[in-house]
Structure 1
Amino acid sequence: MSVSIKLLARFRKQFENDRLRHFVFVYGTLKKSNKQSLGKDFLKIGLMILLNLDQPNHKVLLNDVNGQAKFICIARTLQKWPLVIASQYNIPYLLEKPETGHQIQGELYLIDEQMLNFLDEFEGHPDYYHRRKTDIITDDFGSFESWTYFLPNYKTSMLSLPMYSDYDSFGQHGLRYVERCDRDGQNADVGHTETSEIIS
């Protein structure tokens, strides 16, 4: 599968922005609020709307200083992948082991080169996470390739952790993500200090 040139042109015209040129699929803390996974829990949905409880790092996609990102639609991976929550900071990791786990629910964005460079730095690509093209399925626009960030090197014990199809920091698992600004230790809010817990 490949990115549809016609689809890319359509969105550029819609957003009146020729700089938007990369599709990126986000599945973890970069997503918006996860209201679709709450079903009929109207009290929690209302509270999330009232408090604007987006996933913890979604704000970086909204910050024009980082570049530009436009939400396209809800999407899911074509293949199954293991999505786990690990480390002392409860970070969602998409492990690079195809046909294990579930099809992953997430969000598709169209971003510019500046935002792609920002996300590479934010995710620690290529030294920590690895950005690679992945086949994505959408209900409205069909299937095509999108950039996705994976963890290529990890302790095999992580494959024994519960695997999720739709991440929510505020989910019933009780493993709320610890934001970088709330982490203990010197320079804990910069980069990935949890590497020794994760990398084999």
Structure 2
Amino acid sequence: MKVFIILSFIINLVCPTVYNYHVFVYGTLKKGQPNHSIIINTTIGQAEFLSHARTVEQYPLVIATKNNYPFLLNVPGKGKLVHGEIYSVDQKMLDFLDEFEECPELYQRTKVQLEVQDGDGEGENTLKPGSIEEAFLYSTNTYEPEWLQKPTYDNYDTNGDHGLPYHEDTSPE
């Protein structure tokens, strides 16, 4: 038994838990959306779905640009309670998401309070429905003023009734 405890301690010391950060996704990275394959790609990093959640504060979630990107504008108190998913990610995935989201130029990674809607299993990472959790969120302070006049959404879906499907930017730089 002592050997097992010592080995567990050494393994945890050398190989600490890889899931260190909670990230809230509300757009194309969600399940069923065009970029979901990114967050589950283990060659990029590790991510584990924890729960569905919604923001505690209202935010304007708008669809903008010629490519119909979902943007969560960093204007707390305006818009709607935004629904999305909480993932637990490792440093490698967080670094990749920063690059993917063009952070800090286009999006800024900030912390947000979320109300957990459901949990996924009974493991140590299970979140309790109704609990308030903190997670990173990619929102933007960089937007055109008229975006504040656009319709706001509480839940993004590229195939939603809005008729604004997401288009990947394939133009050369």
- TM over 0.5, shorter chain: yes
In 2: Cα distance, 1:105 partner to 1:139 partner = 9
Give the 4+ runs in structure 1 shifted more than 3 A: none
In 1: Cα distance, 2:19 partner to 2:142 partner = 31
In 2: Cα distance, 1:160 partner to 1:107 partner = 26
Q: Which runs of 5+ in 1 are unaligned?
A: 1-16, 33-53, 188-200
In 2: Cα distance, 1:139 partner to 1:61 partner = 20
Question: Quick check: which has more Rg, 1 or 2?
Answer: 2
- Aligned position for 2:144: 155
**What root-mean-square deviation, in Å, do the aligned CA atoms of Structure 1 and Structure 2 show?**
1.1
In 1: Cα distance, 2:26 partner to 2:107 partner = 14
- Check the 8 A contact 2:108/2:139 in 1, yes or no: yes
Deviation readout 1:27-59 (Å, 9 max, x if unpaired): 000000xxxxxxxxxxxxxxxxxxxxx200000
- Aligned position for 1:134: 112
Please say if 1:103 is aligned against 2:89. no
Deviation readout 1:109-163 (Å, 9 max, x if unpaired): 0000000000000001111100000001103521021000001121110000010
Question: Secondary structure, in 3 states, of the residue corresponding to 1:148?
Answer: strand
- Aligned position for 1:31: 30
Equivalent of 2:172, from 174, 182, 186? 186
5 Å matches for 1:1-200?
Answer: 18-32=17-31, 54-140=32-118, 141=128, 142-180=131-169, 183=170, 185-187=171-173
Identical aligned pairs, as a percentage?
Answer: 43
Which structure shows the higher helix fraction? Answer: 1
In 1: Cα distance, 2:70 partner to 2:115 partner = 21
In 1: Cα distance, 2:133 partner to 2:87 partner = 13
Deviation readout 1:150-190 (Å, 9 max, x if unpaired): 0112111000001000000011111000023xx3x324xxx
Question: Secondary structure, in 3 states, of the residue corresponding to 1:137?
Answer: strand
In 1: Cα distance, 2:45 partner to 2:95 partner = 9
Matched length: 147
- Aligned position for 2:10: none
Question: Secondary structure, in 3 states, of the residue corresponding to 1:145?
Answer: strand
Question: Secondary structure, in 3 states, of the residue corresponding to 1:102?
Answer: coil
In 2: Cα distance, 1:90 partner to 1:151 partner = 15
In 1: Cα distance, 2:53 partner to 2:44 partner = 23
In 2: Cα distance, 1:136 partner to 1:79 partner = 8
Q: Which runs of 5+ in 2 are unaligned?
A: 1-15, 119-127
In 2: Cα distance, 1:160 partner to 1:89 partner = 18
